[in-house]
Amino acid sequence: MPNGIAADEMHFIFSDKAVLLFDFWRVHSPTGMALSVLVVLLLAILYEGIKVGKVKLFHKTLENLPNTSSQQLILGSDQDSTGSGSTSANGTRLRWFLWYLGQSLVHVIQVVIGYFVMLAVMSYNTWIFLGVVLGSAVGYYLAYPLLNMT
């Protein structure tokens, strides 16, 4: 098992040395640590943004629901479109499916980024932890107001 460490001391430390997530991500110096904190900060901001983005995508899939009452409401009593109704229904069905597939992929990305942020905090490096906290705060601050703008 590569890079194992003893799991008997668990507390936050301030340190310029860390190994984060991957073998190649080794931090030796203050500059490297500052850069790593920045990366982790951006990751946390991205995570909060993706949470909001998924809801926005959900709205988009709602708009593209395949022949439901929402479409009938929009079309109203438009009799001309019955001829092209079937083809447009198939087209909208595919479009809805693609939007929904996109939403599922965004969910996978959200799960993975969430776990990566968790593992970064698990390094027990205080700078990294502060970076995650700050990134979550900034991400929440920037992204959540966008939720109410429909």
Partner 1 sequence: MGMNHMGMNHMGMNHMDHMDNNSTMPPHHHPTTTASHSHGGGDSMMMMPMTFYFGFKNVELLFSGLVINTPGEMAGAFVAVFLLAMFYEGLKIAREGLLRKSQVSIRYNSMPVPGPNGTILMETHKTVGQQMLSFPHLLQTVLHIIQVVISYFLMLIFMTYNGYLCIAVAAGAGTGYFLFSWKKAVVVDITEHCH
Question: Which stretches of the chain bind partner 1, using CB under 8 A?
Answer: 1-11, 13, 15, 17-19, 21-23, 25, 51, 54-55, 58, 61-62, 65, 68-70, 100-101, 103-105, 107-108, 110-112, 114-115, 117-119, 121-125
| Residue 143 identity | A
**Measured from the CB of residue 4, what is the shortest distance to partner 1 in angstroms?**
3
Q: Which residues pair with 125 in a beta bridge?
A: 13
**Measured from the CB of residue 132, what is the shortest distance to partner 1 in angstroms?**
11
Based on CB atoms, which residue is closest to partner 1, 80 or 150?
150
**Measured from the CB of residue 83, what is the shortest distance to partner 1 in angstroms?**
26
Based on CB atoms, which residue is closest to partner 1, 123 or 135?
123
Q: What is the rounded distance in angstroms from the CA atom of residue 77 to the CA atom of residue 95?
A: 24
Q: What is the rounded distance in angstroms from the CA atom of residue 111 to the CA atom of residue 102?
A: 14
Using H for helix, E for strand and C for coil, what is the string for 70-109?
A: HHHHHHCCCCHHHCCHHHHHHHHHHHHHHHHHHHHHHHHH
Cβ neighbours for 145, distance < 8 A, ≥ 6 positions apart: none
Based on CB atoms, which residue is closest to partner 1, 83 or 108?
108
CB 121 within 8 A of CB 129: yes
**Measured from the CB of residue 82, what is the shortest distance to partner 1 in angstroms?**
22
Based on CB atoms, which residue is closest to partner 1, 5 or 149?
5
